[in-house]
Amino acid sequence: MAAPKKQPLHNVLVVGGCGFLGHHVVKLLLQQHPECNVSVMDLHTSFNNFPGVAYYPGDITSREQVDKILAQSRPEVVIDTVSPVFGLGKEIYFRVNVDGTRTLLDASTDKGVRAFVYTSSASVVFDGVNDMRNVNESAPIPVVPMDAYNETKAIGERMVLDANRKRGMLTVSLRLSGLFGPGDRQALPGMFQALERGQTKFQLGDNSNLADFTYIVNAAYAHILAAEKLLGMPVDLEKASTTVDGEAYFITNGEPVFFWDFVRAVWAAKGHVAPYTIALPKLLSHYAGGASELVGWLTGKEPSLTRMKVKLSTCQRYFDIRKAKTMLGYAPLISLHQGVLDGVAWFVEQEKKESEKKEQ
């Protein structure tokens, strides 16, 4: 059977396109839509570059800068992958995830952008307390958010979905969970740090908790699928047999795994297997996280263990992706196992290059 014909993408602007997720979106766009004009807007554009892509340095909180870049790039699709890393201040999250998203949405609507794809987080439905077992998109946004990052991502998502069909622009929001892979600045590097510190024998909790991780290429693929689906909808929406716009979708690898099994798989891919395991009870781990935070506060150093890290590594947290499969046609391109091998291999190669540089 012949593969279904792709909806062509002619002109796409990837906002945050030099970042972890963004540059993988750009890379996959170039592979899957070689005729597409791909542009990137980012605060800094001197890294993660690809030939043939137009790069525009700009701040999404500046309407003047956004308007100028939209006028130059003239996209039919805007893919907003901007996402400040975990652990920054509340002010930054509100400035970027709320004010920046609002600015980008308003400018895109005014410029006649046809489709807008927003990067959200699966944790917008997580309150930091209750377990999440196979949760789908009907789960409510908690009244008390887990943290400022997810609070602002939820606000941004609501703005994006509320903007759907305003003057013809179609929108979707993709809720990603546990991103990892080449270029990762948080998940895999954090696990490598534990390896370097000789902490691999320790386990928080009893490892009965399932967690969802998502290989970065699969997350990028979901964004391209969403753009294709939005552009494939008829201009006269009343004639559409199915609609995908105005919706949020959970995106994962679809392979929930016991949390510490995943971490140990990463260490094994790096060539290390701990000789034994010391499982610390969840409550004891929580107190240890609190003590580590106190020491960090007293010394001015970032604590290696926090109560939030304990919660995220001991809670049930996995999601139902049937909606994305059914509506967007999403299916992961790369398995979790292969993703771990490829992700770790990339970091090993980077370490080798750095070592060679020092020797020269």
Catalytic annotation, residues: 149
Distance CA 173, CA 262 (A): 27
Strands 210-211, 257-258: pairing kind = antiparallel
Distance CA 201, CA 278 (A): 6
Angle at 91 between CA 88 and CA 92, to 5 degrees: 50
- Three-class secondary structure of residue 323 per DSSP: helix
Distance CA 178, CA 164 (A): 27
> What would the DSSP string read from start to end of 192-249?
HHHHHTT-TTEEES-S--EE--EEHHHHHHHHHHHHHHHHTS-SSGGG-SS--TTEEE
Sign of CA dihedral 61, 63, 69, 70: positive
Kindly tell me the burial class for residue 87, based on how many C-beta atoms sit within 10 Å of its own C-beta (0-12, 13-18, 19 or more): exposed
Angle at 126 between CA 124 and CA 131, to 5 degrees: 155
242's tokens: 């199915």
Q: Which of 217, 111, 92 is nearest to 166 (CA)?
A: 111
Q: Which of 74, 98, 92, 262 is nearest to 177 (CA)?
A: 262
Q: Which residues, including other chains, have CB under 8 Å from residue 20's CB and lie 6 or more apart?
A: 179, 183, 184, 185, 216
- Side chain identity at residue 217, one-letter code: V
Counting DSSP H helices and E strands in the chain, the numbers are 12, 15
